[in-house]
Structure 1
Amino acid sequence: MTTAGTRHDVRLADGRTLAVHDTGPFAPGGPADALTLVWHHGSPQTGALLEPLVRATRPRHIRLVSYGRPSYGGSSPLPGRDVGSAARDVEQVADALGLGRFAVMGSSGGGPHALACAAALGDRVTGVATFASPAPYAGDEAWFAGMADDAALRAALLGRDARARFQLTAEFDASVFVAADWDALAGPWAAMNDDVALAASAGSDGLVDDDVALARPWGFELGQVGAPVLVVHGEVDRMIPVAHADALLRGCPRADLWLRPRDGHVSVLSAVPVALDWLLDHAHDGVGDLSPVDQRRPGQPAPA
């Protein structure tokens, strides 16, 4: 199930509105320096608060904020948007909610949008965690290698009209998920399954725009991401292959990589609680001195 929280329709400077969901200020008794996390949903989803995220953030006294990207969950469309536009939107959301510094986390298509915030907003972003995130398209076939179904993204390379035409007859290829993914969607992450269906029932504009944005220049370079980055990826992911995680690791100046050898595209989210602890540990790191890329692979963190 999704958790209602408080919904804010945040009006942006260009007249658009974003549907924003917020668990609200910290409860009395929480730490004075408690963390705020802005969640970036996958494609397609509505941006509503997913119960597993609320369940993981609440005992850690983390304020959870999520929003629907343009054309999702009641948010206004933004024709021609790139990935980098998410940072401008989130900055205005943060201002509207009175947020100072915050961490960002994104799953699948939300991962690049979380990275965009860190690239553009400097030390306002304390840390980034991505799950099963694609890397920037570098213009070669390697980007598609290992994808069980790459047809939608190949259509996106041809532009929005081509991607929208493809969607008219597109069918979901169940082979993109491994058994662990189906178990996650039937169990702890059933809320995501329901939210995907709700988003899809409202139309495909958000999904089409996401794919086109991913297949084009993102509007920023990974080298601009000064905050600490945790890249979490399942080694048997058949939707976004693990080579994308390696590309993110090498592109971000302060990156750690956690590989999950038995996880696929969805089941990798079982590491969310551990990633939250990582973000808490790095919440007060400085961003002035960029260390070399950390290529250690700490292994599979135990779920909390």
Structure 2
Amino acid sequence: MNRQDFTTIFLPDGRKLAYAEYGDPEGVPVFFFHGFPGSRYDGEYSGQIAAEMGIRLIAPDRPGMGHSDFQPNRRLLDWPADVCNLADTLKLDMFGVLGYSGGGPHALACAVRIPERLKTTGVIAGVSPVTEPGALDGMLRNNVQIFTLSRQVPWLLNLIYRWNNTANGEKLMRAGMAQMAKPDQTVMQNPEVLRGMAKDYKEAFRQSPRGVVHEGGLFASDWGFKLSEIQAMVYLWQGKEDTNVPLAMGRYQASHLPNCIAKYFAGEGHISIITHCIREILAVYV
């Protein structure tokens, strides 16, 4: 598959689910769950290394983002059913899941609902339950506001995102750089990285902000499960300098997951962890 392409399937409820594939088409199947806001394009960053390692990255757009239809009243625990439908279409009995940032809770939802189908579960800089005390300590002010607005006044967040989406994507990314962790600012100096981030961000809002706003509300509400319910081994990777999803969130998850192998990377942020550490991360899947 050309890396710019996407494919859609129809789900039992009639919704379309879009996805792209990166890496080795014949490799070990790993579902890559994008960040927040984000799209299937998040998987693009890791495609070349995945190909070298014999990994087939399958990157779906979540409901209301990219080319996937919005799902009214969606909950985190609804996502595993979509994943299973896509896996069945691709004739995959078992597979790995890897959730990045906002994709982290979705990987954990799969570990709760469909552990029998998962070979490996991993979370990179994943959002933890936002409602827990201290969960937002050390987080960028803008991100704190997003979670607060998505829960309390989602209509206002919708308006803000609509306005943002009229701006040039790369200019929008540059405007936010000053708040980012130093390692992320350095990585974002690369024009290719900046273009990729802008494209991914814009794709999240291709239809409207509705899918993103709804998902923010999911993170800021009861997830429908406790981390302590997850019996599968979960691999967790976190940059110590991350200010998008701060280190406290990674440590919280590691301390509440019954079976967790966590690694905290010194000198890495939210974006640089993908740029610098993805080979080590993907190694657990092969």
Q: TM-score, normalised by structure 2?
A: 0.85
Q: What do the CA deviations read for 1:79-98 (whole angstroms, capped 9, x no partner)?
A: 22122221111111111111
2:155 is matched by which residue type in structure 1? D
Partner of 1:272: 278
State how 1:118-133 maps to structure 2 within 5 Å: 118-133=111-126
Counterparts of 1:10 and 1:113, CA distance in 2: 19
Q: Is the 8 A contact 2:35 2:42 kept in 1?
A: no
2:99 counterpart (89, 106, 111):
106
Note the residue ranges of structure 1 that are not aligned, 5 or more in a row: 28-33, 281-304
State how 1:179-194 maps to structure 2 within 5 Å: 179-187=182-190, 189-190=193-194, 191-194=196-199
Partner of 2:128: 135
Q: CA deviation at 1:203?
A: 2.9
Change (3 A) 1:223 1:159: farther
Secondary structure of 1:104's counterpart equals: strand
Q: Is the 8 A contact 1:3 1:51 kept in 2?
A: yes
The alignment-based identity, stated in percent, is 25
1:70 counterpart (63, 66, 73):
63
Partner of 2:53: 60
Counterparts of 1:278 and 1:42, CA distance in 2: 20
From the two aligned structures, give the one with the greater helix fraction. Answer: 2
Q: What do the CA deviations read for 1:204-240 (whole angstroms, capped 9, x no partner)?
A: 2222122111001112222233332111111111121
Partner of 2:148: 154
Q: CA deviation at 1:18?
A: 0.5
Partner of 1:4: 4
1:225 counterpart (214, 230, 243):
230
State how 1:89-100 maps to structure 2 within 5 Å: 89-100=82-93
Q: CA deviation at 1:248?
A: 0.9
State how 1:2-81 maps to structure 2 within 5 Å: 3-4=3-4, 7-23=6-22, 26-27=25-26, 34-48=27-41, 50-81=43-74
Q: TM-score, normalised by structure 1?
A: 0.81
Q: CA deviation at 1:60?
A: 1.5
Count of paired positions: 271
Note the residue ranges of structure 2 that are not aligned, 5 or more in a row: 165-171
Partner of 2:75: 82
Q: What do the CA deviations read for 1:166-213 (whole angstroms, capped 9, x no partner)?
A: 545678644441232133234374423432234345432222122111
RMSD: 2.4
Counterparts of 2:44 and 2:189, CA distance in 1: 14
State how 1:208-247 maps to structure 2 within 5 Å: 208-247=213-252
State how 1:292-303 maps to structure 2 within 5 Å: none
